[in-house]
Amino acid sequence: MVRGIARATSVVAVAGLTLAACAQGTGGAADGGEQVSYDSGAELGGSLDIMGFGLGDDVAETRHGIALEALGDVDVNLTEGALDIQQFLTAVASGEPPELIYASRDQIGTFASRGAIIPLTSCIEGEGIAVDDFLEPALEQVTFDGEVYAVPEFNTVPLTMANADLLAAAGLTVGDVNGSSWEDLAAATQAMHRGDGGSLSVIGYDSKLPEFLPLWAHANGTDLISQDGRTAQLDDPAVVEALEFAVGIYDGQGGFPEVKAYRDSADFFGEGNQFATGTLGAMPMEQWYLNVLNEVSPDAPLVFDTVKDRQGQPIAYASGNAWAIPADTENPAAACRYARVMTEVDTWVAAAEARKAAREGEGQTFTGLLTGNAAADEAVRGLIEPSGSGVWDGAVAALYEANENAFSLPANPADAEFEQAWQDAVNSVLNGQAEPQEALEKAQEEAQAALDDAWAKWEDSEA
């Protein structure tokens, strides 16, 4: 399985962080004001401490091995597990940061605005990182105030996943649940839903709240924040309508608490998953779940499609991680080399070839990798062979179509506070504590105040 993307829900402010100077040319102030030379042909030494990355699967292990070869005599140490934000910011404030971090892309704006990481202008030029190869939404998410602050990798996108038998029994197709018609989707939910005397036995459709509000809003023609990352749009009528619809999907099945309790009881990663047992009609779900289903229930009655907006166009709310170099670190040149090698085309192809061989050896289907690098994605896709199964070949086709139609929310200096505001609003509605309009108006005030304050601090630091 592709590594999951962990997302922290808050960023802890640490006093004393100062902005690193902007890198220029082939040298930049990356370590206490000293000029650093980045050169893809240079021999490197010293140590490289990486925080937030682990060797949890074959793809990580293959790529890490290639990066170690490129680093030569550099002593590499990993602090595995999801990035501990408080630990990281404390390390920066204390003057003893790691050389490299592996962070969620939507944390990069905050880290950049607080001076916790450095711009990568010099790193990109010196190591020859082909930034034009990266997917535009991924690169935009790590670009703050006009400068790239991290090297993106992986792209996680949702697909429509459905039980073909439940659809057929209700006289439906996957087109009724891909989101192109909200009216058809609501009707399909009711047609597949089963609840006997208040006891839920089949979830017709799971709209995946709170995390997918950005997806539903985008499908309705808007986004939660302006493209420049400065203006919250949580009380936009289109966002309110999207939340009303997505919550209404649960209300028609006994309410969110009942649906959540039932879905949480499923053997999500095992043979008794909700598709294999016929207890879920359809849902939008991240593409990494394809591998889970192919491993544990390859013969389940499945069908896949992209998620579509209300005009019938494919969309995908993308997320992923990225490599960033902390301020005042001792070995930024090694950090830059590692980030470059881990995300370049040849490395991804080697990892994909290893993954393909492993899956074929287990009698399973290789469904590709979404790397965040468009050139690498194309090369990896070339390794995929028809499986002979319409289900899994259709899944792969949907995966790549979604990837080509992905969007992300822009970098901003208050990403954690912004996300907390809208997620709290959604949860208050799901739990029956507020109506959508009321909840989103309150969230709008909180989110905009956080954005205004964070942008003002950034601008003051730049003055």
Calculate Rg over the CA atoms of the chain: 23
Q: What's 77's DSSP letter?
A: E
The alpha carbon of residue 320 and the mean position of all alpha carbons in its chain are separated, in whole angstroms, by 3
Query: What mean pLDDT is predicted for residues 278-298?
Result: 95
Q: What is the pLDDT of residue 462?
A: 83
Query: What percentage of the chain carries pLDDT values higher than 70?
Result: 92
Give the residue-averaged pLDDT of 288-307: 95
Per-residue pLDDT at 445 exceeds 70: yes
Q: Which of 8-22, 73-87, 244-258, 266-280 has the lowest mean pLDDT?
A: 8-22
Summarize the confidence of residues 68-85 as an average pLDDT: 94
Is residue 378 over pLDDT 50?
yes
Which CATH class name applies to 158-317+411-456?
Answer: alpha beta
Is residue 249 a contact partner of residue 189, using CB atoms and an 8 Å limit? yes
Question: Whose CA is closest to 135, among 416, 343, 414?
Answer: 343
CA distances from 298 to 40, 158, 266, 293 (A): 44, 19, 17, 6
**AA identity, residue 49:** D
Average pLDDT over residues 70-98: 93
Question: How far apart, in Å, are the Cα atoms of 133 and each of 286, 336, 343, 374?
Answer: 23, 17, 10, 6
Q: Does the pLDDT of residue 233 top 70, yes or no?
A: yes
Question: For residue 25, what pLDDT is reported?
Answer: 28
Farthest CA pair distance, the chain: 71
What pLDDT, in 10s, does the model give residues 93-141?
999 999 999 999 999 999 999 999 999 999 999 999 999 999 999 999 9
Q: How far is CA 91 from the centre of its chain?
A: 25
Q: What tens digit of pLDDT does each residue of 301-332 get? A: 999 999 999 999 999 999 999 999 999 999 99
Residues of the chain with CATH 3.40.190.10: 27-156+320-352, 158-317+411-456
* Candidate CATH numbers 3.40.50.720, 3.30.9.10, 3.40.190.10, 3.30.70.20; the one for domain 27-156+320-352: 3.40.190.10
Q: How confident is the model at residue 80 (pLDDT cuts 50, 70, 90)?
A: confident
Confidence of residue 28 (pLDDT cuts 50, 70, 90): very low
pLDDT number for residue 209: 97
Per-residue pLDDT band for 83 (boundaries 50, 70, 90) equals: very high
Instruction: Give the span between the Cα atoms of 395 and 399, in whole angstroms.
Output: 6
Residues 255-269: tens digit of each pLDDT: 999 999 999 999 999
Distance CA 228, CA 409 (A): 10
Residue 24 pLDDT level (bands cut at 50, 70, 90): very low
- Integer Cα distance of 362 and 87 in angstroms: 40
Q: Is the pTM of this model over 0.85?
A: yes
Question: What is the structure's pLDDT at 4?
Answer: 35
Binning pLDDT at 50, 70 and 90, where does residue 34 land?
low
Query: Is the predicted pLDDT of residue 20 greater than 50, yes or no?
Result: no
